[in-house]
A = this chain, B = another copy of it.
């Protein structure tokens, strides 16, 4: 039985990383680990550790991404919730068997991790991401 280990990160959709950091870094006092361009999701991401999880500020770098559409339709704010699992392939098999609708039927393989999104239709409106770290 595959298991969720912890919340890996909360993804927050932002129109501007620097402007957002005036709250998350300068006001709340959180420390930014790094900011990097994530080509696979056409975004700039600020990684902000908070206990065993991260707050990830995600700024779209193209208009055709899910995050860009989310901001256009609903405004900036919490975008997705990412859980770290011990076996993502087994978890996806299990979710499918239980009738859960997946955005990614099989995990995408990226350097250091495998990942997949679960459709908000099956979660009660939450875009759930699953990660398995592979390094």
Q: Which residues of A pack against B, CB within 8 Å? A: 1-7, 10, 12-14, 19-20, 23-24, 26-30, 50-53, 55, 74-78, 81, 83, 94-95, 98, 100, 120, 122-126, 128
Q: A4-B28, A7-B10, A77-B126 are in contact. List 6 more A-B contacts (CB 8 A).
A: A6-B50, A7-B50, A23-B123, A53-B53, A77-B124, A78-B126
Given contacts A7-B10, A10-B10, A120-B77, contact A1 B23 (CB under 8 A): no
> Once the chains are docked, how many angstroms separate the CA of A23 from the CA of B128?
11
- Residues of B near A5 (CB, < 8 A) are 51
A77 with B125: CB separation less than 8 A: yes
Number of copies of this kind of chain in the complex? 2
B83 with A81: CB separation less than 8 A: no
Choose from B28, B78, B83 the contact partner of A50 (Cβ within 8 Å): B83
